[in-house]
Structure 1
């Protein structure tokens, strides 16, 4: 799992004090990482608290030079962004209780691969209000082995400093919006990378829900025996009435955090773990020379990802393909996945950070969609031609403009883009009443059944899903039709194309209704 949190200098400074490994373990528990760290002369273990504090404050290691501007008055400084990568519980048990320290190295390599990806794709700064890509990050890594209940929990805090060096050599603040937007994606990639490494060590894995996995050989009861923290999260979800999703678990994780215990006797803690393992009848699974790997046909998986994405949109990113591919562990490393994507013969590649792709089919469909929209201009008489209707006085100016836009339009496709709280339901009800008075047949459609049902109940019209409507084969009506498509920004490119084709056959006008966020994601 991956969690992300913005850190102040005071909060981030606590990591330096949480050294979870003693010298006898001979494990490097902290490390400077990234091209940004190298440029600042930082490498190896984080063994000087003064240097660490200076970097958190946006200063050079010696504290002599300011590297970023001060925050606006009244705002607390942002030291950096904490990306915490947590291994599955069974990996923690095999590594920390079972004693296979190779799994710690596998976890660390998976974390480093994700940091490399962040540095290559998502490192940014802001210059004159413009977001500019850079090729460097400065990260302080801290490897921890327990959660707040002192249970085995292998995880790494990657404190990505609020620093970025531009092409001009000047240091500035970094931006972190990219990371928050890609939290689920990076978490899935980390799990895939770790799963591949775990299998290479000889363990078998068992894929779980939401792209998670566990090492085969531990029962659910044994895993839960070391998961009091996990149970706290589940209890919180139940109390708050939240679904058990990865996103909600992350919310619960932060909501139920306790202060970490200090001055823990490491040997005593390991003895407690061994005693608990014995009580749970745990026999740690042994790696095999040639394990049964969960391995996918990568060429076919990439082909499926291409088909999935080209149906949704004309142009998609490498990230879109990768997200589809790693929704379950593949048995392949991220580098192997990237290689197969690069050689896929159907993909037309443009740009970078991340790369954008299309196929000949998706581009041709896009051209035909645009052509149909242009062909549909000035094809209908206005619903209320010349006269200005007396609209309800309690409509806002923007609602009045939206209604008149539909009533006066002569185009096949009309669009409404709104925001939450803009009064969409009231505006639609007013429009429907006027259109019905002009003998217009109104139908409503939405991408999913629940949205279609809500639309029908709210504005009192017949509704169904877009998919059902496209499959339905009924005789065209002689009555003029207006089709209201709610949440239109969630339609796939193929659905939008098919809707346009069907509207031509039925001589219907389309009113596409959605919000800015959904349309922006198209």
Structure 2
């Protein structure tokens, strides 16, 4: 699990660091997180590489300076002071604490399996490197002077490993102290880090960490059991009761969550963080030999044969084929990426690379290297495409299906230009209805009620514009629903049926409550439509059966193909008047599009069909040369009209709802 703790402001940095590195003091309420093991703390990240200190031991002076925003600029050789830019209250940084499942800590620290310590360190580094790639954001001015976000691709952090919690129980974890700084490679200067994305992507980094730890734990020969939340796991062979016996601190947090009326298994990170703060006590450090002795005695009391579990794991590891396992992991990662793309594309037209990576890592329990390789394969296969011009400084992706849907949407909107059906035809009628609406609202509310100019304009466009589609865009609280309430009242008075749809049930409820428009979710709307379609299908089948049993079915000698000009209506939809072609054998319905070419072609085909019978009649009656020439000319005209019409016309198969209508 990864927890987040903000580290003060720049003005408090010195006092914070003095506590962290003094004999008595410490970083959080006199808990010494950094003093005893400061010799093991190392600088990591590409930001450390810029400074030339990657892998170097963390020194007290650098630690304080970096959190205070004072860093050497490698380009100028001078020290920059980010706090001097009128931002004295800037956030100094944050501490990301990364910990494995309790069973991993027990096997690593109590059973002494150092392979799991290495696995944790590897997973910690990959999680932090993933955050560095996707969350190193700065704000800069674009060419228009607007603030925009950019990725720098580098962070600076000090990492240190600890092995106990506040209750002196075995708890392997790393503290990653990240100064809120990053180096702008394009402009050759240090800048303050925008912390927003760190919080957004923390859960994703947690998934990257757990996927890596899971793979390394399996390669070490351990079997695992997954929790019901789909994210966590424990090493098999330890019961929940035995794990809980080493988890007094976790039990305190769980109890605090239960006291709030929630299930610890379903608790959010924020809830666990709050519970952790509420139950935090002062830590009392004990010598490592005393702790190891107490831990092993506890394991024996619980009936745990930890040495036997380590030996069994090493035996299993010796029989594993790492190459075969990694090949299978790559296959599963490819499947996970495909599933993640489908999952994300159901909800959004575009999604970030970071979102795709973390979703695939969670779905497939796949390590980040395999996920990245699978994403690249999908990009090379054109299953996903880069999406330019998106906000936030992140790299965005989309699918060809999404692009096709957007193109179709744009085409549909363009085709609707000038083809709308206005609810109101005159401005005077609009003004009269607006006045009546505002008067009624004023009386109901007991105050003078007026729609704003923008609300009136939005309502007017919706009710009177000649285009088929209208869009109203506005932030929350800007009065969209008030304008829609007026639109609903006017439309209903004119005999229209208004249907509201929204992406979520809460939004649909809000739309219906505030505007009076009967509303549903998009999924619910289509479910109702499908149910109505099924009901109509059953009615049609019943009617066909009655006609057949009454001897009123379709004459078998009748033509298979039939063409009619019809106005089709179904439910609340009006498909308009179109030229429909019915194939009675396959029970399929087609219509020609509404373009000029197809309309002319339809007229030619209708004319050919109309005059065909006359030509055939003349053929049977013609006896003189003149009459035969007249028949020949008539046949030529019919044939030419039919030939031209067939070449010019285009058909599309209509949907079930329109066909049944």
Which category of TM-score, normalised to the shorter sequence, fits these structures? Answer: 0.7 to 0.9
* CA gap 1:241/1:273 in 2 versus in 1, 3 angstroms: same
Q: Which stretch shows the higher mean deviation, 100-109 or 10-19?
A: 10-19
Report what 1:229 is aligned to.
249
User: What is the Cα deviation at residue 329 of structure 1?
Assistant: 5.3
Q: Distance in 2 between matches of 1:14 and 1:396?
A: 59
Q: Does 1:347 align with 2:358?
A: no
Report what 2:179 is aligned to.
161
Equivalent pair of 2:336/2:363 in contact (CA under 8 Å): no
Give the one of 282, 290, 300 matched to 2:304. 282
* CA gap 1:21/1:77 in 2 versus in 1, 3 angstroms: closer
Report what 1:513 is aligned to.
none
Q: How many residues align?
A: 482
Report what 1:484 is aligned to.
none
What SS is found at the alignment partner of 1:441? coil
Q: Distance in 1 between matches of 2:511 and 2:251?
A: 38
* CA gap 1:88/1:68 in 2 versus in 1, 3 angstroms: same
Report what 1:185 is aligned to.
204
Equivalent pair of 1:125/1:132 in contact (CA under 8 Å): yes
Equivalent pair of 1:5/1:82 in contact (CA under 8 Å): yes
Alignment of 1:135-214 (within 5 A): 135-167=153-185, 168-208=187-227, 209-214=229-234
Equivalent pair of 2:20/2:35 in contact (CA under 8 Å): no
Which of these two proteins has the greater Rg computed from alpha carbons?
2
Equivalent pair of 2:204/2:358 in contact (CA under 8 Å): yes
What SS is found at the alignment partner of 1:76? coil
Equivalent pair of 1:28/1:45 in contact (CA under 8 Å): no
* CA gap 1:21/1:198 in 2 versus in 1, 3 angstroms: farther
Q: 1:443-465 CA deviation, whole Å, 9 max, x = no partner?
A: 23333556545655665554443
Q: Distance in 2 between matches of 1:418 and 1:272?
A: 63
Q: Distance in 2 between matches of 1:277 and 1:470?
A: 58
* CA gap 1:47/1:467 in 2 versus in 1, 3 angstroms: closer
Equivalent pair of 2:102/2:171 in contact (CA under 8 Å): yes
State the TM-score, normalized to the length of structure 1. Answer: 0.80
Give the one of 225, 235, 240 matched to 1:215. 235
What SS is found at the alignment partner of 1:326? helix
Report what 1:491 is aligned to.
none
More helix by share: 2
Q: Does 1:447 align with 2:503?
A: yes
What SS is found at the alignment partner of 2:498? strand
Q: Distance in 2 between matches of 1:113 and 1:300?
A: 22
Alignment of 1:456-495 (within 5 A): 456=512, 460-471=516-527, 472-473=529-530, 474=532, 476-477=569-570
Q: Distance in 1 between matches of 2:510 and 2:126?
A: 45
Q: Distance in 1 between matches of 2:34 and 2:183?
A: 32
Q: Distance in 1 between matches of 2:469 and 2:251?
A: 51
Report what 1:131 is aligned to.
149
Report what 1:318 is aligned to.
353
Report what 1:305 is aligned to.
340
Report what 1:70 is aligned to.
84
Q: Distance in 1 between matches of 2:262 and 2:488?
A: 36
Q: Distance in 1 between matches of 2:134 and 2:151?
A: 8
User: What is the Cα deviation at residue 426 of structure 1?
Assistant: 5.3
Report what 2:640 is aligned to.
none
Gaps (5+ residues) in structure 1?
482-500, 507-522
State the TM-score, normalized to the length of structure 2. Answer: 0.64
Question: Moved runs in structure 1, 4+ residues, more than 6 A?
Answer: 20-23, 61-64, 291-294, 478-481
Report what 1:104 is aligned to.
117
Point out which structure has higher relative CO (alpha carbons under 8 A, 6+ apart): 1
Report what 1:245 is aligned to.
267
Q: Distance in 2 between matches of 1:234 and 1:425?
A: 43
What SS is found at the alignment partner of 1:442? coil
Report what 2:423 is aligned to.
383
